[in-house]
Structure 1
């Protein structure tokens, strides 16, 4: 009898050891597998059992949380959702997160270890920390001016502070209300299908995620390359440019929409947007020089984050001379986001230095205690100060005497460049209207803002009319909000 009891006890002990070993295996080695399993609802329930942290604009929350009363208790809510959607993105219980809601998800959900005094204790006890707050760099007056200026047009606006790189406005139209995607009911699925299937693509962030041929606004980069390389030493001296200009190695002759471009000085060619002058200068600078200058401005940079991801702007590095000439006037396959072209304008305004753009000013915990200042990456010299000063002079001339008159702001010095980009098969599509600019209050030495505006399918006959008529007034409103 005693022998049977001993055998039973030993067998029970072995079973207990097996249970403990298996429990340790599951809790230590398999925890990530089971935690990430779609069948495990515990993580989702824990994630939404408390309000999500806020995204703030000028200290005011533009996001919130509402109590749904369901198992996934708190749903995201948005104040003026369409206005700030290109900044916030969405936070959906079904479809995940995007833009800042994604890039700062750890802080907003409370999972970021920076929010805890003793992170190891929270992990040991399984405590769920309250979400922190993310303070953005957006200026609400400039955001509103850009949004109202675009109205029902398809397009985008990006504005940054040249000296610091702070993103002051980020607008894409048509927009959408991210609150429609917040919950987990049938209405959310229907909204997702409707928004993704809509022809105007309201969920596309045109300011960060779409690239366009920059057209004549790219001539700022080409002028910088010509000046930095020494191909042009005097912006008021004749350039020996024919009109029309035969593209190198081809029978194609490039013409101009403007008059007086033959042998035009760089300053006059910039004001009139002479294709022949800039195509010839691009071919003379050459592929290596043009690509290097474009790269310094930010083209071909696939690492750019603000911290939301930004589509890379591209300048081809494998072209023949004719293609280089076309790329120098912002055509062929050169492509840029509105944010990239705002960076180009900012370099000129900031004396040739580029401060990398950023969208997060600081992060605080649920009590308002500072957790981290936003990233302030150091500025780098892109072009020389003398070149920047010459480009400033030419851009001011465009607004004072050229096609950018509608961008003038009372009480401010404004420089700008218009542009139209052809697109579609055989350039049959309606052109994109561009305007890039910067503004500085007359009593200040520092530029207040650099802005880029693109309007899709803007009807116009020529580059300066399109950019000056469709896009320049929108830029003017944004700059007026910045200096006013």
Structure 2
């Protein structure tokens, strides 16, 4: 009998050891795979078991959470969803997260270790922390002015505080309501299909994820390159540019939007947007010099985050001389996001030093304790202060007596540059209307705002007038709001 008892005990110990080994295999070795398995709903249930933290604009939450009573309990809601969609993105139980909802997901979902009272607290206690809050740099009034100015037309606006890099407005139009995608019902699937199938692409964030030919607004970069390379030493002196001007290496003459560009000075060329002068100067600077200057403004940088990722603004690294001439006036393959062109205006406004743009002022716990605060960082020295001084003077001349008069604000110094950008097969499409600008109160030590506006379907037909007629009034409205004192909260 004792022998059988020993055998039973040995078998029991073997089975116990096998169970232990299997438990280790499942709970340790396969834990990550099982947690990430689409068949495992526990992480999703846990994720939506608590309200998500809020994204805040000017002290007011623009997001919230709704208790559905379902297994995935809390569903995201958005206040003024279309207005802030290019900032918040969406948080969907079906399609995941985008933009700030994605970049700050750890804080908003409560899983960021920085929200815990002690290091490794969450790992030891397995407790759920309330979602934190994300306080943005957006000025509500400037955001509304940009959104209302576009009025549903395809386009985008980006506005920056030049000295700090704080993003004051980020608008893409037409927009959409992120709340339509929050849940997991058939209605969400239908909304996803409809939005993605729309010809107007409302889910495309045109402010930071779409690049356009910058047209004549890029002439500010070319002017900076010409001054830095000493190709131009006196901006008021005549250049040696003939009109008509034959693009080097071709038999094609380059047209100008206005008369008077023959041997025009750099100041006149910026004021009235002479294509011939700027193309000639770009060729004289050379490809290496143009690339270096554009790079200091942020072109060709694939690492820019605000904290959401930003599409790369492009200047080709290999070009023939005729392509370089066209690139120098913002055509050929040169493309830029509206945020990038706002950065160009901001660098000029800030004396040549470009602050790193950012969208999150700080993150906090649910009850207001600061978790992280975004510091002011220098992005790059785009140009020497003397160069920036000359470009400021030229942009003021262009705004006050040139193509940008519709951006002027009484009692405020405004510098601007209009632009149109050809597109479509054979450049047959209606040109995109651009305007970049900055504004400074007469008694202020520095400009308060730099802005870029692009309108894809301008009402004015062709010519520089579309930049001044369609985009400049929107920029003006945004700058007016950005110049107002920050409301107390």
- Alpha-carbon separation, structure 1, partners of 2:57 and 2:121: 33
Q: 2:90 is matched with which residue?
A: 90
Q: 2:134 is matched with which residue?
A: 134
1:210 has 2:210 as partner: yes
Q: Unpaired runs of 5+ in structure 1? A: none
Offset at residue 375 of structure 1 (A): 4.2
- Alpha-carbon separation, structure 2, partners of 1:453 and 1:248: 32
Q: Secondary structure at the match of 1:339?
A: helix
- Alpha-carbon separation, structure 2, partners of 1:374 and 1:453: 26
Q: 2:157 is matched with which residue?
A: 157
Q: 1:12 is matched with which residue?
A: 12
- Alpha-carbon separation, structure 2, partners of 1:313 and 1:393: 26
- Alpha-carbon separation, structure 1, partners of 2:263 and 2:61: 56
| Residues 67-86 of structure 1 mapped to structure 2, 5 A cutoff | 67-86=67-86
Offset at residue 379 of structure 1 (A): 4.5
More divergent stretch after superposition (18-27 vs 45-54) = 18-27
Q: 2:166 is matched with which residue?
A: 166
Q: Secondary structure at the match of 1:306?
A: coil
Offset at residue 26 of structure 1 (A): 1.6
Is the contact made by 1:431 and 1:460 (CA closer than 8 Å) also made in structure 2? no
Q: Which string of whole-angstrom CA distances, capped at 9 and with x for unpartnered residues, describes residues 112-132 of structure 1?
A: 100012342321332121111
- Alpha-carbon separation, structure 2, partners of 1:315 and 1:459: 29
- Alpha-carbon separation, structure 1, partners of 2:163 and 2:187: 45
Q: 1:289 is matched with which residue?
A: 289
- Alpha-carbon separation, structure 1, partners of 2:210 and 2:158: 12
1:477 has 2:472 as partner: no
Q: Taking structure 1 as reference, are residues 327 and 55 closer, same or farther at Cα in structure 2, changes over 3 Å only?
A: same
Q: Secondary structure at the match of 1:443?
A: coil
- Alpha-carbon separation, structure 2, partners of 1:369 and 1:27: 35
- Alpha-carbon separation, structure 2, partners of 1:335 and 1:17: 65
Q: Which string of whole-angstrom CA distances, capped at 9 and with x for unpartnered residues, describes residues 238-290 of structure 1?
A: 00110111111111111212100000011011111000000000000000000
- Alpha-carbon separation, structure 2, partners of 1:215 and 1:155: 15
1:30 has 2:46 as partner: no
Return the TM-score normalized by structure 2. 0.98
Q: Which string of whole-angstrom CA distances, capped at 9 and with x for unpartnered residues, describes residues 54-87 of structure 1?
A: 0000111000000000000000000100000000
Q: 2:201 is matched with which residue?
A: 201
- Alpha-carbon separation, structure 1, partners of 2:111 and 2:152: 39
Q: Secondary structure at the match of 1:406?
A: helix
Q: Taking structure 1 as reference, are residues 243 and 205 closer, same or farther at Cα in structure 2, changes over 3 Å only?
A: same
Offset at residue 374 of structure 1 (A): 1.7
Offset at residue 204 of structure 1 (A): 0.4
- Alpha-carbon separation, structure 2, partners of 1:119 and 1:22: 31
Q: 1:353 is matched with which residue?
A: 353
Is the contact made by 1:358 and 1:375 (CA closer than 8 Å) also made in structure 2? no
- Alpha-carbon separation, structure 2, partners of 1:402 and 1:121: 62
Q: Taking structure 1 as reference, are residues 375 and 16 closer, same or farther at Cα in structure 2, changes over 3 Å only?
A: farther
Q: Secondary structure at the match of 1:134?
A: strand
Is the contact made by 1:160 and 1:343 (CA closer than 8 Å) also made in structure 2? yes
Q: Unpaired runs of 5+ in structure 2? A: 485-489
Q: Which string of whole-angstrom CA distances, capped at 9 and with x for unpartnered residues, describes residues 405-462 of structure 1?
A: 0000122100000000000110011110000000001110111000000000224454
1:396 has 2:419 as partner: no
Is the contact made by 1:399 and 1:414 (CA closer than 8 Å) also made in structure 2? yes
Q: Secondary structure at the match of 2:464?
A: helix
Q: Secondary structure at the match of 1:5?
A: helix
- Alpha-carbon separation, structure 1, partners of 2:9 and 2:195: 65
1:464 has 2:467 as partner: no
Q: Secondary structure at the match of 1:230?
A: coil
Offset at residue 174 of structure 1 (A): 0.3
Is the contact made by 1:154 and 1:173 (CA closer than 8 Å) also made in structure 2? yes
- Alpha-carbon separation, structure 1, partners of 2:115 and 2:159: 31
- Alpha-carbon separation, structure 2, partners of 1:368 and 1:95: 29
Is the contact made by 2:407 and 2:472 (CA closer than 8 Å) also made in structure 1? yes
- Alpha-carbon separation, structure 2, partners of 1:379 and 1:207: 19
Is the contact made by 2:431 and 2:462 (CA closer than 8 Å) also made in structure 1? no
Count of residue pairs the alignment pairs up: 484
| Residues 366-385 of structure 1 mapped to structure 2, 5 A cutoff | 366-385=366-385
Q: Taking structure 1 as reference, are residues 121 and 18 closer, same or farther at Cα in structure 2, changes over 3 Å only?
A: farther
Is the contact made by 1:257 and 1:462 (CA closer than 8 Å) also made in structure 2? no
Q: 1:451 is matched with which residue?
A: 451
- Alpha-carbon separation, structure 2, partners of 1:466 and 1:314: 24
- Alpha-carbon separation, structure 2, partners of 1:104 and 1:10: 54
- Alpha-carbon separation, structure 2, partners of 1:75 and 1:129: 17
Q: Which string of whole-angstrom CA distances, capped at 9 and with x for unpartnered residues, describes residues 357-380 of structure 1?
A: 000000101121111112432353
**Cα RMSD (Å) of the superposition?**
0.9
More divergent stretch after superposition (445-454 vs 244-253) = 244-253
Q: 1:40 is matched with which residue?
A: 40
Q: 2:222 is matched with which residue?
A: 222
Q: 1:423 is matched with which residue?
A: 423
Offset at residue 293 of structure 1 (A): 0.3
Q: Secondary structure at the match of 2:330?
A: coil
Runs of 4+ in 1 over 6 A off after TM superposition: none
